[in-house]
């Protein structure tokens, strides 16, 4: 059994039973009950920090660009992958890779914004139900966790990106219907399939949180989120990532408080779905790019979100023919200093976990890995 598969099992309250069973039979894969009552994230992200592959502007092999990017993420040492759901053959390739957690943009569009008709509701439910059931019944997904979500929701509600305007209440109401019917479909599929080792959750994504929190604007965070039944909330956190750490914490606390409580899930259900400064925003200086993004990571990690994702492994933005540089590997196939930092962190996480297992015969919990990661990143700059 691979190390990180064991690490995920150690995060459950059943960890003592797992440890005992593994002592008797180290090769045995321990199964768990579905959606257990636990005080922290089921199958939490032991690595915490990760990245994503969406709309890359370049590639270097004959592979599909998303598959190629996923291979780069795998070689980085990450077991977390975020993508937009690609066509079937490519998605099958991704599922066959040794990732433990997948975040996917699924049917991510704003077609509902002018009214969520009964026919749209039927189609959304059926598509989400079928997708969830397929994931839960695939042999290839054994032990994997999937999060079904979408792109930055505030931009769906503000299609002209006029941040001085308020969100249209009718569009916000349609979004509530759209996201809740997706949750209903996932809930129904989870109830029908007697699964124990594959998990599927939903998430919604916000991106203009400070407009609502500080500016009093009507946004997804205060108009939509309080009416949702989604499992998790993703935050494309560009509007707060450069604020002081105390203000970042205040923002995340406020956003998490907008979510209605939900059983069988952790108290903190907000994760950082996107963050990071581009190469050009850092003066095209690799040392500055690594330092500033590492500082952003540590601020978010200090709040202990289940996940912090850097945008992204290959750049997707090109302006006037120039790469903006949201990347870990540039368009010349050169790895950045930030890539090397993340790769080293993953190695050090694994070594720390192995040492803990050697000393105490148990694996670290999510909180311990998160604390280790925050401290390691902070010390690296000293």
pLDDT digits (tens, 9 = 90+) for 33-79: 333 332 334 444 468 999 999 999 999 999 999 999 999 999 999 99
Q: In the predicted model, what is the mean pLDDT of the chain?
A: 88
| Contact predicate 20/71, CB 8 Å | no
Long-range contacts of 317-325, Cβ-Cβ distance < 8 Å, separation of 24 or more: 317/57, 317/278, 318/57, 322/280, 323/57, 323/279, 324/278, 324/279, 324/280, 325/278, 325/279, 325/280, 325/281, 325/284, 325/289
pLDDT at 92 over 80: yes
Q: Where are the domains of the chain?
A: 44-380
Angle at 205 between CA 266 and CA 366, to 5 degrees: 30
Section 302-310 average pLDDT:
96
Label the pairing between strands 322-323 and 308-310. Answer: unpaired
- Please write down the HEC assignment for all residues of the chain: CCHHHHHHHCCCCCHHHHHHHHHHCCCCCCCCCCCCCCCCCCCCCCCCEEEEECCCCCCCCCCCHHHHHHHHHHHHCCCEEEEECCCHHHHHHHHHCCCCEEEEECCCCCHHHHCCCHHHHHHHHHHHHHHHHHHHHCHHHCCCEEEEECCCHHHHHCCCCCCCCCCCHHHHHHHHHHHHHHHHHHHHHHHHCCCCCCEEEEEEEECCHHHHHCCCCCCHHHHCHHHCCCCEEEEECCCCCCCCHHHHHHHHHHHHHHCCCCCCCCCCCEEEEEECCCCHHHCCCHHHHHHHHHHHHHHHHCCCCCCEEECCCCCCCEECCEECCCCCECCCCCECHHHHHHHHHHHHHHHHHHHHHHHHCCCCCHHHHHHHHHHHHHHHCC
How does strand 199-206 pair with strand 232-236? parallel
310 close to 293: Cβ distance less than 8 angstroms? yes
When pLDDT is averaged across residues 96-125 and rounded to a whole number, the result is 95
Across residues 232-239, what is the average pLDDT?
Answer: 98
Q: Could you tell me the pTM of the whole model? A: 0.87
Task: Give tens-digit pLDDT for 120-141.
Answer: 999 999 999 999 999 999 888 8
% of the chain beyond a pLDDT of 70: 87
Residue 362 has a pLDDT of 75
Which single residue is written with the structure tokens 């959606």? 35
137-179 residue pLDDT tens: 988 888 889 999 999 999 999 999 999 999 999 999 999 999 9
CATH architecture of 44-380: Alpha-Beta Barrel (3.20)
Rounded to the nearest 10°, the torsion over CA 316, 380, 285, 208 is 40
Instruction: Give the model's pLDDT for residue 359.
Output: 85
- pLDDT digit string (tens) for 251-304? 999 999 999 999 989 999 999 999 999 999 999 999 999 999 999 999 999 999
Residue for token pair 């019917």 = 181
CA proximity to 308, closest of 377, 380, 223:
377
pLDDT of residue 316: 97
Determine contact, residues 85/93, Cβ cutoff 8 Å.
no
- R_g over Cα of the chain: 20
pLDDT at 140: 85
């Amino acid at each position: 059994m691979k190390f990180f598969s064991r690490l995920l099992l150690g995060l459950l309250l059943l960890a003592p039973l797992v440890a005992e069973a593994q002592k008797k039979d180290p090769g045995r894969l321990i199964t768990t009950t579905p959606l257990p009552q636990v005080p922290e994230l089921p199958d939490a992200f032991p690595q915490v920090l990760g990245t994503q592959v969406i709309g890359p502007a370049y590639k270097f092999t004959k592979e599909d660009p998303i598959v190629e990017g996923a291979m780069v993420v795998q070689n980085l040492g990450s077991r977390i992958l975020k993508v937009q759901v690609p066509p079937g053959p490519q998605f099958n390739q991704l599922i066959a890779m040794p990732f433990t957690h997948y975040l996917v943009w699924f049917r991510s569009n704003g077609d509902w914004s002018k009214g969520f008709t009964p026919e749209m509701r039927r189609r959304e439910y059926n598509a989400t139900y079928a997708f969830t059931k397929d994931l839960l019944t695939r042999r290839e997904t054994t032990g994997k966790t999937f999060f079904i979500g979408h792109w930055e929701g505030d931009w769906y509600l503000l299609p002209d990106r006029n941040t001085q305007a308020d969100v249209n209440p009718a569009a916000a109401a349609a979004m509530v219907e759209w996201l809740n019917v997706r949750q209903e479909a996932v809930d129904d599929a989870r109830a029908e399939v007697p699964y124990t080792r594959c998990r599927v959750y939903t998430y919604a994504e916000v991106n203009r949180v400070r407009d609502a929190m500080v500016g009093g604007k009507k946004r997804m965070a205060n108009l939509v989120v309080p009416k949702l039944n989604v499992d998790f909330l993703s935050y494309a956190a560009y509007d707060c990532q450069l604020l002081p750490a105390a203000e970042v914490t205040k923002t995340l606390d406020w956003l998490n408080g907008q979510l209605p409580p939900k059983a069988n899930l952790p108290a903190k259900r907000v994760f950082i779905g996107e963050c990071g400064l581009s190469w050009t925003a850092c003066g095209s200086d690799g040392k500055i790019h690594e330092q500033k993004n590492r500082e952003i990571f540590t601020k978010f990690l200090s709040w202990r979100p289940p996940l912090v994702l850097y945008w992204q492994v290959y750049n997707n933005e090109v302006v006037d023919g120039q790469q903006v540089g949201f990347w870990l590997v540039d368009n010349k196939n050169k790895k950045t200093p930030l890539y090397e930092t993340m790769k080293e962190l993953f190695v050090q996480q694994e070594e720390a976990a192995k040492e803990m297992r050697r000393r105490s015969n148990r694996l670290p919990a999510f909180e311990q890995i998160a604390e280790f990661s925050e401290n390691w990143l902070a010390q690296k700059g000293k």
